[in-house]
Structure 1
């Protein structure tokens, strides 16, 4: 233990010197090394008392991490709304939402038109994609038996409530595309079907999107209200197994399923919930598509932003929230 303490002391002394010399990039890399080797030093338990010395280094590590994100991304943005979105993501500008019911948890593009529900006809070429995917419904139905992953863990941070704990047992999934990359499940599908997911309509911006997933909501299951991660994409639901009682509620607007429902298209950055009160499971194919009001240049900006963010997150992302206990 003493050897560890001595090593930490040496590392921290060298970091202090780097900070004094304004060698911030080197200091951040050194903090990342400390966090990897001795995570308890920079991430103590909430109830653990802290010295001013230790708290200072926790603040330093978090601030340098956030600084690195801004340095990597601040140049991105061909339009004012993308520039503003980057500033909000990097924390240099406060997030201001346009609708009370629309509060995406990760990335928000201001002044980007949307509504809780939209028609597929509003997106050029989308109805054709829906028709082609629907014609292969039997293939997707055959995949339902493999939908055994816990989908609650895939939608981001959710409250630790009894409703969400119960839902983790009643909401399952099987990904065909995750974070913009095809899964092993997808590779077993017919090639012409897989090629449909390369459509430019899909929100191709790894590692953020797109997601293509078969979602199964068990009988009597309820998904509490929650927000999606961003408003750059809309969510397409193509029915596989549905019933007249299951519904989707987006910002207080409720849509129910029926045998005649071809698809539902909504913006999951608005608060939304779902329920399947029937005695049989409800299964849908979920696909992320671009918000059609984004320009092609803005989509390229977002793709670049996601690449930079993913690289930053892999190296320094965990450090950015180290000082959350002081908020």
Structure 2
């Protein structure tokens, strides 16, 4: 039955009074007006939501639950109200129901950092430490992406204690998780052999400040301390490089065949937005291009490409490659077109070294790499190795295409134990990053 005009007018007046009292900081007066509205219209979402929030603030959890459930009967996919319901259910110690409500809220809106914070608290109380870690971490990361929880000034006073507690939990649990990944190797090699790895982990978790031996070096992801530092490495440190160089002609022949077929190549870098490419590539002759024919990418073998270049694949498989599950090696024919310029950038970790074997280098001193401000001009068949955590850039100023083999190698100053530990550590970090919804920084 429809309401009479007088009743509608009364509700409108009550709503005006309720909003005015709410906005002017008179919550008790607002609550009384909203309660009368809810009595007259039991499905009034605004009134029920206010009353639920008021009950929650006054620690009347069960009443708050009732109000929020009435709102959800009208708006079952309201993520904010589901978050409020979850908060009230936590206050009522109904943890299983709270978990369900908060998971529903996050499924509807993954950026709701308050819902994730509450869910982390629930999971912690349910003794699911890893689940709590993931949710707390995601809550903090999402909030900070939105400019919140960066300091006391960007954190609501009512949330500060919970946020700081979550941050301490994340610090402790991430250390426990990642340190656990290398614990079997500590047993195998002895704690002393992994001392630098443990410092590396502490630096990654920002529990220790890095002490860079060279101010030009700044890894984007993982800094390993105590390694001799230079932009370029003597190739004598890599006993396998001399034999690799002898394969240049045979590798070049297979490269020229796939280049002529013009298939199997893809951009070395991919961007979510085309305009982002301008920060990485520039060109003096039309559209710049940096393409790759991958043998391995992020640790995955490109079997079809390997079949097309069987000799190259055999040579690569016999090399002491960096092998990290889901991450390394990265090996390709790297193709830089005429006039293309790879702009200055930095690599992700000094635990790896980038090796180049030039196959086609057109022009005299027209194709170069600059690392740490020091220029290197490629020479066909002469391999080179550099630390890409120094700012570096590369260009092809000739009128033809430049092609090299680009590949990862271990930093030669890492011990066998350290290489094994870094492989386990990076894989564990990658697993966590994917679970926490973060991009894999080793693939940047």
TM-score (norm 2): 0.60
Determine helix, strand or coil for the equivalent of 1:173. strand
* Structure number with bigger Rg: 2
2:374 alignment partner in structure 1: 253
Structure 1 match to 2:83: 8
- Partner Cα distance (2:142, 2:370) in 1: 45
Q: What's the CA shift for 1:182?
A: 0.6
Q: Does 1:235 align with 2:354?
A: yes
Give the Cα separation in 2 of the matches to 1:130 and 1:44: 47
**Alignment gaps of 5+ in structure 1:** 322-327
Residues 241, 383 of structure 2: 8 Å contact kept: no
More relative contact order, 1 or 2 (CA 8 Å, 6+ apart):
1
In 1, Cα distance between the equivalents of 2:202 and 2:424? 15
Contact preservation (8 Å) 1:108, 1:231: yes
- Change in CA separation of 1:22 and 1:124 when aligned onto 2, cut-off 3 Å: same
SS at 1:137 equivalent: helix
CA separation in 2, counterparts of 1:91 and 1:236?
30
1:39-54 equivalence runs, <5 A: none
Kindly indicate whether the alpha-carbon contact (under 8 Å) linking 1:126 and 1:201 is maintained by their aligned counterparts in 2: no
Corresponding residue for residue 287 of structure 1: 407
Q: Which residue of 1 aligns with 2:239?
A: 124
Instruction: Provide the rounded CA distance (Å) in 2 between the counterparts of 1:232 and 1:41.
Output: 29
Residue among 219, 229, 232 paired with 1:104:
219
Instruction: Give 1:44 shift.
Output: 7.2
Instruction: Please tell me whether the aligned partners of residues 329 and 408 of structure 2 are also in contact (alpha carbons under 8 angstroms).
Output: yes
Distance 1:198 1:6, change over 3 A: same
Relative to structure 1, is the Cα distance of residues 45 and 82 closer, same or farther in structure 2, using a 3 angstrom cutoff? closer
Q: 1:191 to 1:150 in 2, by over 3 A?
A: closer
Q: Does 1:152 align with 2:269?
A: yes
Greater helix content:
2
For 2:268 and 2:440, the matched residues in 1 are separated by 26
**Equivalent position of 2:8 in the other structure:** none
Other-structure match for 2:300: 181
Q: Are positions 1:314 and 2:434 aligned together?
A: yes
1:266 aligns with 2:371: no
Deviation digits for residues 295-316 of structure 1 (CA, Å, limit 9, x no counterpart):
1111111111122112212212
For this pair of structures, how many residues does the alignment match?
Answer: 311
1:318: how far off?
3.0
Which ranges of structure 2 fall in alignment gaps of 5 or more residues? 1-74, 87-101, 103-114, 149-153, 187-192
TM-score, with structure 1 as normaliser: 0.79
Describe the shift of the 1:97–1:184 C-alpha distance in structure 2 as closer, same or farther (beyond 3 A): same
